[in-house]
Copies of this chain bind each other. A is one copy, B any other.
Amino acid sequence: MAPPSWLQLRRTVRFGDTDAAGVMHFLQLLRWCHEAYEQSLEGFGIAPACVFPVPSAERPAGLEPAAAALPIVHCSADFRRPLVCGDPLLIELEPVRLDPGSFEVRYKFWRIRAGEEPQEAARGLSRHLAIEPASRQRCALPEAIGRWLEAAAVAQGGIRPL
């Protein structure tokens, strides 16, 4: 069964993602991870202003500010194949709830060059903790994030136990 479109994204390596070695600069991969996570939430139906901080004057009318911030407490990346300007990428996301107040997202990056088999080019990981923005104390994950994690677990073929 094909994964839902909000767990399988596409992007292209751009010139500003490269460095003087001619290939993608390592940092960019983690930027792509976070953008893929945001795009996945949006594709699932969660408005960014529900999850990310938006100044009150710019928030959609009637929308409460995000009750929790979800800072990254750990991230990592593994680089397997060079990526160059113009390379088309397929990004697979695997979000996993870790406990009632945290989750992680695992990312696989496939390089899809014309006339080549897809090659796994890199992996990424981000681990997020829910905190109350003002006190920075741990709190429960927002309900919308909970739904996204549950739907992802179902799509990935099984409810993972807490």
B20 touches A18 (CB 8 A): yes
State how many angstroms separate the Cβ of A105 from the closest Cβ of chain B.
13
Asked whether any CB of chain B lies closer than 8 Å to the CB of A73, the reply is: yes
What 1/0 mask marks residues of chain A from 38 to 60 whose CB sits below 8 Å from any chain B CB?
11001000011100111111111
Residues of chain A from 26 to 44 with CB closer than 8 A to chain B in the complex:
26-27, 30-31, 34-35, 38-39, 42
Asked whether any CB of chain B lies closer than 8 Å to the CB of A160, the reply is: no
State how many angstroms separate the Cβ of A47 from the closest Cβ of chain B.
7
What 1/0 mask marks residues of chain A from 105 to 144 whose CB sits below 8 Å from any chain B CB?
0000000011100000000001000000111100000000
A21 touches B77 (CB 8 A): no
Please indicate the chain B residues that have their CB under 8 angstroms from the CB of A49 in the complex: 84-86
A23 touches B57 (CB 8 A): no
State how many angstroms separate the Cβ of A97 from the closest Cβ of chain B.
20
Residues of chain A from 57 to 79 with CB closer than 8 A to chain B in the complex:
57-61, 69, 71-79
A86 touches B47 (CB 8 A): yes
Asked whether any CB of chain B lies closer than 8 Å to the CB of A82, the reply is: yes
Given contacts A14-B38, A34-B14, A76-B76, contact A86 B27 (CB under 8 A): no
